[in-house]
């Protein structure tokens, strides 16, 4: 009888465990509201994109994307908790519901969009893959890299681009695959590999981590397109729309000249585009399931896209990256957001 009892208890426990999936049926927005914070997946430390300081405060472009979403949902950019993830862990963490949004310089590709059960909600940084080499090697172009040993991070599109590039050029290479970008830098610094490859923005960040950043240089070649952006789970269109339009609101805010400093004055603006974005007219927020002034909260607390860019990766920061492709479409770049109306 004792056996039968423990079996029954076990069965009840297991059945209980399975009902968790039923709880997931609630929308992401509802579960985020219930929790009282946004759970956001970021890197385990990449300057300019997501990096904790010695007090545990996260900063970076990807981090600010998360803060903007929190500002839109709660009116409070601080209502975010960050989950540091390696490239290998990131999709599983999102699929399993451990995080609500993945903002971890993740490249938008067809395979990821179509077969992982994920949706890319836009692009917050247009990047491309490049190479970092030691100056002492005397290499000036990627086509001179035949036979090189290449340090690379596991689970990234760069791993595939690298193989494609060398194959197309008829060159050989030896890939040395590490789990984190931190380890790839260590491997490169120790001379285990001749070349470190990654997205160009990351190369700038990783180069700044070397003991002597001047000993290494980034080759001029860009071998791939790497549109990076926030990712959400498939099957929850409302949440997908929220993430997509928070990013669009920031880009539109820059275009309309709304900044953290002048957003309060802009509330009085006669421009209907500004009024809709800041929620003084229309019900744009309600359509997304957000407060009417979500755009105001985002710009007030996090800023527009340009401010976010300049603060984290722009000229004057350790990464010192020109706007380039990431400038607004009106200024020669390709940052272009659909209109808020």
Partner 1 sequence: MKKIATDSRPAGPKPWYDPRIRSLVFQAITIAVVFWVGWVLIDNTLSNMQSRGISTGFGFLDESAGFGIIMHLIPYDATMSYGRTFFVGLLNTLLVSAMGVVAATILGFIIGVARLSSNWLVAKLALVYIEVIRNIPLLLQIFFWYFAVLRNLPSPRQSVTFGEWIFLNNRGLYLPQPLTQDGFGLVTGALLAAIAGIFVLRAWARKRQLATGQTFPVFAVSAGLLVGLPVLAYFLAGQPIEWVTPELKGFNFKGGFTLIPELAALWVALSLYTASFIAEIVRSGILSVSKGQTEAAKALGLPNTLTLRLVVIPQAMRVIIPPLTSQYLNLVKNSSLATAIGYPDLVSVFMGTTLNQTGQAVEVVAITMAVYLTISLLISLFMNFYNRAVAIKER
Residues at the interface with partner 1 (CB under 8 A): 3-4, 7, 10-11, 14, 18, 21, 87-88, 91-92, 95, 111-112, 115-117, 137, 145-149, 154-156, 159-160, 162-164, 166-167, 173-179, 183, 186-187, 190-192, 194, 233-235
Distance CA(220)–CA(143), nearest Å, equals 11
Q: In the numeric block, which tokens belong to residue 112?
A: 């990821």
Give the CA distances from residue 250 to residues 15, 62, 148, 166, 332, in Å, rounded to whole numbers and listed in that order: 45, 13, 42, 38, 18
| Complex with partner 1: residue 175 or 289, whichever CB lies closer | 175
Q: How many CB atoms are located within 10 Å of the residue 194 CB?
A: 19
Minimum Å gap between C-beta 131 and partner 1 is: 13
CB of 286 to partner 1, least distance (A): 27
Question: How far apart, in whole angstroms, are the C-alpha atoms of residue 305 and residue 257?
Answer: 11
Q: How far is the CB of 156 from partner 1 (least distance, A)?
A: 8
Strands 216-218 and 129-134: antiparallel
Provide the 8-state DSSP code for 133.
Answer: E
Task: Compare residues 225 and 267 and give the one whose CB is closer to partner 1.
Answer: 225
The distance of closest approach from Cβ of residue 97 to partner 1 in the complex, given in angstroms and rounded to an integer, is 9
Residue number, 216 or 251, with CB nearest to partner 1: 216
Cα gap 19→23, rounded to integer Å: 7
The smaller minimum CB distance to partner 1, of residues 20 and 54, is found at 20
Between residues 154 and 327, which has the closer beta carbon with respect to partner 1?
154
Q: State in angstroms the smallest separation of the CB of 225 from partner 1.
A: 16
DSSP character at residue 123: -
Taking the complex as a whole, the smallest distance from the CB of residue 191 to partner 1 amounts, in Å, to 5
Of the pair 192, 287, the CB lying nearest partner 1 is at 192
Q: How far apart are CA 69 and CA 38, in angstroms?
A: 8
What is the C-alpha to C-alpha distance for residues 296 and 31, in angstroms, rounded to an integer?
A: 23
């Amino acid at each position: 009888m004792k056996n039968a009892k423990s079996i029954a208890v076990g069965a009840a426990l297991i059945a209980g465990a399975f009902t968790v999936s039923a709880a997931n049926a609630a929308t992401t927005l509802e579960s985020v509201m219930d929790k009282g914070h946004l759970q956001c997946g970021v890197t385990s430390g990449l300057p300019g994109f997501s990096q904790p300081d010695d007090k545990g405060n996260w900063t970076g472009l990807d981090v600010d994307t998360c803060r903007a979403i929190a500002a839109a949902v709660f009116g409070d950019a601080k209502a975010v908790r960050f989950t540091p993830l390696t490239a290998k862990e990131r999709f599983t963490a999102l699929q399993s519901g451990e995080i609500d949004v993945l903002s971890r310089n993740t490249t938008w590709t067809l395979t990821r969009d179509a077969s992982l059960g994920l949706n890319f909600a836009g692009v917050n940084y247009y990047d491309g893959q490049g190479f970092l080499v030691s100056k002492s090697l005397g290499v000036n172009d990627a086509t001179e890299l035949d036979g090189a040993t290449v340090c690379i991070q596991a689970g990234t599109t760069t791993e595939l681009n690298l193989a494609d590039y060398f194959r197309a050029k008829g060159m050989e290479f030896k890939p040395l695959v590490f789990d984190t970008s931190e380890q790839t830098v260590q491997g490169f610094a120790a001379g285990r590999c001749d070349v470190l490859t990654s997205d160009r923005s990351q190369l700038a960040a990783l180069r700044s981590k070397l003991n002597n950043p001047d000993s290494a240089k980034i080759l001029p070649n860009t071998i791939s397109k790497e549109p990076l952006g926030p990712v959400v789970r498939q099957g929850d269109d409302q949440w997908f729309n929220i993430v997509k339009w928070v990013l669009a609101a920031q880009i539109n805010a820059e275009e309309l000249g709304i900044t953290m400093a002048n957003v309060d004055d802009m509330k009085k603006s006669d421009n209907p585009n500004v009024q809709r974005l800041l929620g003084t007219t229309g019900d744009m927020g309600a359509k997304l399931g957000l407060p009417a002034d979500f755009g105001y909260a985002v710009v007030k607390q996090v800023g527009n896209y340009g401010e976010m860019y300049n603060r984290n990766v722009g000229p004057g920061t350790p990464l010192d990256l020109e706007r380039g492709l990431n400038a607004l479409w009106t200024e020669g770049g390709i940052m272009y957001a659909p209109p808020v109306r």
